[in-house]
Amino acid sequence: MEYTYQGLDKDLEIAKEDTYSTDLDRFGPLDCQFLRQIEGGDIPNCEPVSLNSFYSRTFCTKRGMWAIVTAGWTTALADWIGGRTAIEIMAGRGWLTRALSEHGVNIIATDDYSWDDTHDATEPVCKVEQMDAEEVALTHLDREVLICSWPHSTEPFQKICRLWLSEGKSVVYIGEDNGGCCVREDFELRLERLEIDMPQWEGMHDCVYEVLERGEDDE
Ligand SMILES: C[S@@+](CC[C@H](N)C(=O)[O-])C[C@H]1O[C@@H](n2cnc3c(N)ncnc32)[C@H](O)[C@@H]1O
């Protein structure tokens, strides 16, 4: 099936309507291993080969995984965080927090659980505290790094980033650049790409960024 990306809302619509079977044997061995590990609630130790597969992407999003989380590339993010304490907002089922925890990062996952009706699998893969992202940002300023992957919309994410940056804290964003998925072109903060290579579904351009205030030289 040819897949043309039509936006996050369309994806959510598709995810709500389709019921995906778990007949994975028609995939090649690595894709099959990747999807089976997700089905089992484990962090995949391999990457999908068929990155152009609409089926595989929807299989993952229906299981609450928007950015492709694997044990491999998350090691580099864990190294970047180092000994700092972290908190993830809009964490969904907690895939990223689970992977980072497995690499030794001290991190808490939070989500308001508003995704419940769009997913086949809703059981968190690690402890995910049910909390609105803005409330988390205000009450967990004791943490040093705030992480958000595939925020549902630009706001309240931008407001949260501003608050955290004003407190001298670090913010990591995983998603597309301004105007792509997750943040609109009117996102006013600077996205500086970290040298961390993560796999992307074909047509997606999500990367790992540090969110920074714009300097005088920035457009
Ligand atoms: C597109 S999913 C991304 C999930 C996960 N971070 C990932 O990358 O796979 C967006 C998530 O944001 C959560 N969410 C939306 N609005 C929220 C809010 N105001 N506070 C906390 N979580 C929210 C939804 O429940 C959903 O899990």
Tens of each residue's pLDDT in the chain, 219 residues: 333 445 555 555 555 555 444 556 666 778 888 988 998 999 999 998 888 777 788 888 888 999 999 999 999 999 999 999 999 999 999 999 999 999 999 999 999 998 766 666 678 999 999 999 999 999 999 999 999 999 988 889 999 999 999 999 999 999 998 777 888 888 889 999 999 999 999 888 999 999 999 877 666
Ligand 1: atom nearest CA of 148 is 6
Q: How far apart are CA 146 and CA 17, in angstroms?
A: 33
Domain boundaries for CATH 3.40.50.150 within the chain? 71-218
Distances (CA, A) of 34 to 7, 121, 122: 25, 16, 19
What long-range pairs does 10-13 form, CB within 8 A, spacing at least 24? 11/58, 11/61, 12/118
- Check: CB of residue 157 under 8 Å from CB of residue 130: no
Q: How far apart are CA 176 and CA 183, in angstroms?
A: 7
C-beta of 70 in contact with ligand 1 (< 6 A): no
Please name which of 153, 159, 209 lies closest in space to residue 184, comparing C-alpha atoms.
153
In the prediction, which pLDDT does 192 show?
Answer: 95
Ligand 1: atom nearest CA of 152 is 10
Handedness of CA 58, 118, 177, 7 (dihedral sign): positive
Q: How far apart are CA 53 and CA 71, in angstroms?
A: 21
In the prediction, which pLDDT does 3 show?
Answer: 37
Alpha helices by DSSP H, the chain = 8-17, 29-39, 54-61, 71-81, 95-102, 133-139, 154-166
Q: How far apart are CA 9 and CA 180, in angstroms?
A: 13
CA–centroid distance, 148 to ligand 1, in Å, is 9
Q: How far apart are CA 192 and CA 178, in angstroms?
A: 11
Give the helix/strand (H/E) hosting 192: strand 190-193
Nearest CA to ligand 1 atom 27: 92
DSSP string, 88-140: EES-TT-HHHHHHHHTT--EEEEE--TTGGG-S--S-SS-EEE--HHHHHHH-
pTM assigned to the model: 0.89
CA–centroid distance, 152 to ligand 1, in Å, is 5
In the prediction, which pLDDT does 91 show?
Answer: 96
CA–centroid distance, 60 to ligand 1, in Å, is 15
Topology (CATH) of 71-218: Rossmann fold (3.40.50)
Please name which of 172, 162, 182 lies closest in space to residue 78, comparing C-alpha atoms.
172
CA–centroid distance, 123 to ligand 1, in Å, is 14
C-beta of 62 in contact with ligand 1 (< 6 A): no
CA–centroid distance, 113 to ligand 1, in Å, is 7
Q: Which two tokens stand for residue 120?
A: 């086949």
